[in-house]
Each structure stands twice: as structure tokens, then as C-alpha cells.
Amino acid sequence: MRDKTVSWLIILSLLGSQLARAEGPSNLKPLDYSSVKDLSQIPSQPSQPPDLIQREVEDFAHCERFFLFSGKKYECDSNLGRDAERLRPLMQDVPQAIQELDLYQKNLRDVRVSGYLITSGVLLVALGMILSGGQPFNPASGGISLGGGIAMAGFTLGVGSVVHGFTLVNLNEKHIQKAVDHYNGVHPDQPIQLQFSTAIGSKLIQ
């Protein structure tokens, strides 16, 4: 009987403590609003860090080609390269001019191929020199070794591609002038005037 009484007392004390916690402390103090700042001092918008200083894009020297049309100056080439593509919309009604422009752009692709062949020639020369150990001729027989043959073939390919590429570039620029001449022959009242020379190494026409 005594043990049961002790057990009930423990249970009641635990329940009492839980109820006391649920009711909360009785000695709560009222909030002191004296430390709160005036609401008018609160900014209407959140503060932000200062703007980063934006650097201006540097204008690197590059060669641009222009032409005059109806008293205005326009760029001749598109963003893809020196293709004179921005002349095409003006020359749509002159088939001979479009033909010259197409031939000019086709030759540009051939010039790029020549560049690839030059690179291939240089690589073949390097490969041949590695295989021959720096001796293109066989010391024993005096003949050309395998590596020497590869090096000579690469040298011939590279030199030939350089000559072909520069010749094609020099002749290709004249197709732009021919296209303009065909257009001006059909439209003498609204001629196109190139602001650059179609000869290699010449200065821009000011």
C-alpha cells in the first residue's frame, strides 16, 4: 500500500510540473519599447553595394573595309570574315555581279584549303626529320631515306601551297572590283564606290 502511494505521488508531481510549464512563467515582464528606433529612420529600400566599375572594351586595331552608297558609308564584310557579303543585297538584280561575288567567296574557301596544306607540309617535314634522325640521306648508300622522302614531300607541298595561296589571294580581290563594275554599269545613278584597294599590299583609300 505504501509503495502504491509513493508511485501516485511521483506521477502527480510529474503532471504538476508539466502543467506548470504549459501555463508558462507567471513573472513575465512587459516589453520595453524604449530601445526601438524610430520607424522613420528605417530606409524604404534595402541598401546595396556600390556598382562595380565597368571597364570599356578596348578597340583593337583591325582592318575594316567600307564602301559608299547613296552618300553613306557601309561595311563591306559580314561578321564571318572578309567575304564582301554585304554587297550582295545591292547586287541581286545584276547576275554578272553576283557571279563575280560568288567566285570571290569560292576562292576564299580555296585559300583556306591552301592554309591547311601549308600546315600539313610543315608537319610532314617535322615527321620526316624525326624519322630520319636529322639525316635525310642514308649515309651508307647515299640515297634518300624514308624520313628524308617524307620531309622533302612535305617541303614541296608547303612551298607549293604558299605560292598558290598568295597568287589566289592577289587575283581574287579583283573579283570584288569586277562585281562593282558590273553593278555600276547597270545602275550608273546609284554607283557603289569601294573605300579600299583590291590590290595586295596597297593602302586603304581615304
First to last CA, the chain: 121
Local confidence pLDDT in tens for the 206 residues of the chain: 445 444 554 554 554 444 444 444 444 455 454 554 455 555 566 666 655 555 444 443 446 889 999 989 999 988 888 889 999 999 999 999 999 999 999 998 888 888 899 999 999 999 988 888 878 777 777 788 888 888 889 999 999 988 888 888 888 889 999 999 999 999 999 999 998 876 554 433 33
Look at residue 193 in the predicted model and tell me its pLDDT: 92
Domains of the chain: 66-194 (1.10.287)
